[in-house]
Amino acid sequence: MGNWLILGATSGIAIPLNRELAKRGNRLLLAARDQERLDIVKNDLHARFNVEVQTELFDALDHINHPAFIDRVEQEFGHLDGVVWAIGILGKQKQAEEDYKKAYAIIDANYLSAVSILEPIAEKFQKRKTGQIIAISSVAGDRGRATNYIYGSAKAGLSAYMQGLRQRLAKSGVHVMTVKPGVVDTKMIEGEETMPFIAKPDKVALEIMNGIQKRREVIYTPGLWRFIMISLRHIPEFLFKRLSF
């Protein structure tokens, strides 16, 4: 049991993950930008599991105030034992190609904002020599593809950041886990063309919870994606360029 901060607590993967954490008796601080949705999630968790759940408005793009946000959270909620980064947007690749502002928005939401909030958290955990930092990245970051390379490059940056953070904090006993989901049945993919191997959020959340408990470093979920991405990464570049997915 411990104190967990869920950043992006109303996202499609975070909602069932909140339940997995609450089921195990953890105190939860749910952070997102929509108070009405936060209250719905909070009330559901309290009714199901009778655990303490608090909410906090959080703007992932307000980088300059992130250190103060974490200081205030720990003063009011108590020292954090774990943090989950569950914020991200898919965006539209074609629009991002034509409008840099849209490209920047994808990069900011998926990478820059994560670094901005996780660095002050990492500093606190390193000093205390304890804690868990979990970030939801994506298999899209394993190899750039023409159909989503703006989003994929941001997720690649997040995965590389988490890898470096893991090495930095290893001697401090802080657990750092990167989650690489494949296609998950959430609002993020609404309106997109049919995609293969779509997973249910509940299954993904359970696999994340198992990874937290076993202190895994990198998990692919569902696990089939590990082998899919190994295959994709090993396709020679001259051949990969001819593919159209």
Domain count, the chain: 1
What does the pLDDT read at residue 68? 97
The residue range of the domain holding 62 is 3-240
Where residue 228 falls among pLDDT bands split at 50, 70, 90?
Answer: confident
pLDDT of residue 188: 57
HSE at residue 10, side-chain half, CA atoms within 13 A, is 18
pLDDT, tens digit, 9 for 90 and up, residues 172-184: 999 999 999 988 7
- 136 assigned to some structural domain: yes
Active site residues: 151
pLDDT at residue 93, as a whole number: 94
In a domain, 168, yes or no: yes
Query: Is residue 139 in a domain?
Result: yes
Residue 84: is it exposed, middle or buried by C-beta count within 10 angstroms (0-12/13-18/19+)?
buried
30-84 pLDDT tens trace: 999 999 999 999 999 999 999 999 999 999 999 999 999 999 999 999 999 999 9
% of residues, the chain, pLDDT over 90 = 81
Q: Per residue in 83-115, pLDDT tens?
A: 999 999 999 999 999 999 999 999 999 999 999
Query: Is residue 245, in this structure, part of any structural domain at all?
Result: no
Q: What is the CATH number of the domain that holds 174?
A: 3.40.50.720
* Full-model pTM: 0.92
Judge whether 67 lies within some domain.
yes
pLDDT score at 238: 83
